[in-house]
């Protein structure tokens, strides 16, 4: 029997707290916060999750890794791509590996905020008001085609994503933990879409872009979808449930405890600040951008099996962290310059720490 044949249900042991004596040691000389055994256990669990999601989503390894980074960092993900590239399939596959509650909201122009968060109803039998909770009360929330709803409905998720709670009739209702929003959107150029407000975009840890697969990947995808399947329903039956919510919470605490050297943290902050002075951007990332880079870099390091963060981890997550937090200048838009291209140019101008 292999590791993938049965669910991994045991929560990971938490990292030991830092003592006062160890706190006096410089960060550069501190050992990794996680011992080897715990780290290997986390790597085994994450490898199993990656493999299970890969059974449903063919040829999108980098996209799967970025989604797992957001899950480990306790963040939310905005997934962009034209219809038919597997955005919804990715979320459904992740939900299948995760033994928690799952909800899906199809965003439409007539969707109301109360359809998302819930509302109160008067019960004539009891003569009292009762609260009917909306679909946001789940561990994983799929906000499908979020940019097809108007701004007031999109804004219903602001409190949910920031505070992990919903206020209904002045009463706060807390969401189950861990909680993660995975929103899909079509490119703004598509008909019938609304741009997401800046405040909404800033609450997504990562913006992931799904591109067309290669010829070999697309051939494997067509073969997988059409073999013994009637119709084109999204099929995640081959994906197994691997972890419990308690295990995800332990992995998140483990990622948050990874060592970040002062020079690496400074590099992350300088990348975010550089977007404010770059001539190609009309507006750059705020302080939340630097915070998000460090959070995502810790998760990236854990996914790579390391107990400490490297400059490469920072550079690897900087693009999906920052691409939705900046606005290209009108000149760059006229020239048709892509945001990702501009960010890569900017990253080359910011010197990374060498040691």
The Cα-based distances of 290 to 265, 296, 297, 329 in angstroms read 9, 10, 11, 21
- What is the pTM assigned to this prediction? 0.83
Does residue 290 contact residue 269 with C-beta atoms inside 8 Å?
Answer: yes
Could you give the 3-state DSSP secondary structure of residue 78? strand
- Residue 34 tokens read as 């996680």
The Cα-based distances of 97 to 1, 5, 92, 93, 203 in angstroms read 18, 12, 9, 7, 25
Query: What per-residue confidence (pLDDT) applies to 317?
Result: 96
Helix and strand counts by DSSP (H, E) for the chain: 15, 11
What mean pLDDT do residues 69-89 have? 86
Q: Are strands 206-209 and 77-80 parallel, antiparallel or unpaired?
A: parallel
DSSP 8-state symbol, 195: P
Long-range contact set of residues 286-291: C-beta below 8 Å, sequence gap at least 24: 286/202, 286/325, 288/202, 288/325, 289/321, 289/322, 289/325
What percent of the chain is predicted at pLDDT more than 90?
36
Mean pLDDT of the chain: 82
What mean pLDDT do residues 32-55 have? 86
- For residue 171, the cross-strand partners are 168
First to last CA, the chain: 43
Q: Distance between CA atoms of 216 and 218, rounded to whole angstroms? A: 5
68: left (phi over 0), alpha (psi -120 to 50) or beta: alpha
Does residue 287 contact residue 328 with C-beta atoms inside 8 Å?
Answer: no
Q: Distance between CA atoms of 91 and 142, rounded to whole angstroms? A: 7
CATH 3.40.50.970 for the 258-355 domain, yes or no: no
Q: Per-residue confidence at 355, pLDDT binned at 50, 70, 90?
A: low
**pLDDT tens digits for 118-162?**
888 877 887 777 888 889 999 999 998 888 888 888 888 888 898
pLDDT for residue 89 is more than 50? yes
Which of 279 and 189 is assigned the larger pLDDT? 279
Fold classification of 34-215+235-256 (topology level): Rossmann fold (3.40.50)
DSSP 8-state symbol, 225: H
Task: Give me the residue label for tokens 């951007």.
Answer: 281
Domain residue limits, the chain = 34-215+235-256, 258-355
Choice among 24-28, 42-46, 287-291 with the minimum mean pLDDT: 24-28
Give the number of other Cβ atoms within 10 Å of residue 59's Cβ.
16
Which of 262 and 7 is assigned the larger pLDDT? 262
**pLDDT tens digits for 159-209?**
889 888 898 888 888 998 999 999 988 776 566 677 787 888 889 999 998
Q: Per-residue confidence at 46, pLDDT binned at 50, 70, 90?
A: very high
Query: What per-residue confidence (pLDDT) applies to 220?
Result: 77
């Amino acid at each position: 029997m292999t590791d993938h044949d049965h669910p991994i249900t045991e929560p990971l042991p938490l990292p030991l707290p830092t003592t006062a004596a160890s706190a006096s040691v410089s960060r550069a000389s501190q050992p990794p916060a996680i011992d080897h055994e715990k780290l290997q256990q986390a790597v085994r669990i994450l490898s199993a999750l990656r493999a299970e999601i890969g059974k449903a989503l063919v040829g999108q390894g980098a996209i799967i890794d970025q989604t797992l980074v957001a899950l480990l960092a306790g963040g939310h993900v905005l997934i962009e791509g034209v219809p038919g590239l597997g955005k919804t399939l990715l979320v459904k596959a992740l939900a299948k590996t995760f033994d928690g509650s799952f909800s899906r909201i199809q965003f439409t122009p007539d969707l109301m905020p109360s359809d998302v968060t819930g509302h109160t109803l008067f019960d004539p039998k009891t003569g009292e008001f009762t609260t009917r909770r909306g679909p946001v009360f789940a561990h994983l929330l799929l906000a499908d085609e979020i940019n097809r709803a108007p701004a007031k409905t999109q804004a219903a998720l602001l409190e949910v994503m920031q505070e992990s709670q919903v206020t209904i009739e002045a009463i706060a209702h807390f969401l189950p933990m861990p909680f993660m929003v995975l929103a899909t959107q079509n490119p703004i150029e598509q008909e019938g879409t609304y741009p997401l407000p800046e405040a909404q975009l800033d609450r997504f840890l990562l913006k992931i872009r799904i591109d067309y697969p290669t010829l070999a990947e697309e051939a494997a995808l067509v073969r997988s979808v059409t073999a013994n399947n009637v119709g084109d329903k999204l099929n995640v039956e081959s994906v197994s449930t691997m972890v419990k919510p308690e295990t995800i919470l332990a992995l998140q605490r483990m990622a948050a405890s990874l060592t970040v050297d002062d020079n690496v943290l400074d590099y992350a902050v300088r990348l975010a600040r550089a977007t404010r002075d770059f001539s190609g951007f009309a507006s750059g990332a705020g302080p939340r951008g630097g915070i998000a880079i460090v959070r995502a870099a810790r998760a990236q390091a854990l996914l790579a099996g390391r107990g400490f963060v490297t400059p490469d981890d920072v550079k690897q997550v900087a693009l999906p962290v920052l691409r939705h937090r900046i606005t290209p200048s009108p000149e760059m838009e006229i020239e048709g310059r892509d945001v990702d291209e501009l960010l890569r140019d900017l990253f080359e101008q910011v010197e990374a720490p060498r040691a």
